[in-house]
A and B are shown apart, each in its own frame.
Chain A
Amino acid sequence: DGGITQSPKYLFRKEGQNVTLSCEQNLNHDAMYWYRQDPGQGLRLIYYSQIVNDFQKGDIAEGYSVSREKKESFPLTVTSAQKNPTAFYLCASSPNDRLQPQHFGDGTRLSIL
Chain B
Amino acid sequence: RKEVEQDPGPFNVPEGATVAFNCTYSNSASQSFFWYRQDCRKEPKLLMSVYSSGNEDGRFTAQLNRASQYISLLIRDSKLSDSATYLCVVASGSARQLTFGSGTQLTVLP
Q: Identify the A interface with B (CB < 8 A).
A: 31, 33, 35, 40-45, 48, 50, 56, 58, 88, 90, 94, 96-99, 101-107
- Which A residues lie within 8 Å of B95 (CB)? 48, 50, 56
Contacting pair A105 B43 (CB below 8 A): yes
Contact B42 A107 (CB under 8 A): yes
Q: Which residue of A lies closest to B101 (CB)?
A: A42
CB contact list, B13-72 vs A, under 8 A: 31-32, 34, 36, 41-46, 49
Contact, CB under 8 Å: B97 / A42: no
6 contacts between A and B (CB under 8 A): A43-B98, A58-B97, A99-B31, A99-B32, A99-B49, A101-B49
Q: Give Cα A90 to B100, complex, Å.
A: 13
Q: How far is the CA of A43 from the CA of B100 in the complex (A)?
A: 6
Chain B at the A interface: SS class:
strand
Q: How far is the CB of A16 from chain B (nearest CB, A)?
A: 28
Per the bound structure, the CA–CA distance linking A99 and B42 in Å amounts to 24
CA distance A40 to B40 in the complex (A): 11
A42-B102 in contact given A50-B95, A99-B32 (Cβ < 8 Å): yes
B31 touching A107, Cβ below 8 Å: no
Bound complex: CA A50 to CA B32 (Å): 17
- Which partner residue on chain A sits nearest B51 by CB separation? A99
For residue A44, which residues in chain B have a CB less than 8 angstroms away from its CB? Answer: 100
Asked if A98 and B31 make an inter-chain contact with CB atoms under 8 angstroms apart, the answer reads yes
The yes or no answer to B84 lying at the interface (CB within 8 A) is: no
A44 to B95, CA, bound (A): 15
Docked pose: A44 CA to B31 CA in angstroms: 19
B80 CB, nearest partner CB in chain A, Å:
23
Q: Which 3 A-B pairs have the closest CB atoms?
A: A42-B100, A104-B43, A43-B100
Taking each of A43, A44, A56, A96, which has the highest tally of chain B beta carbons within 10 Å of its own beta carbon?
A: A43
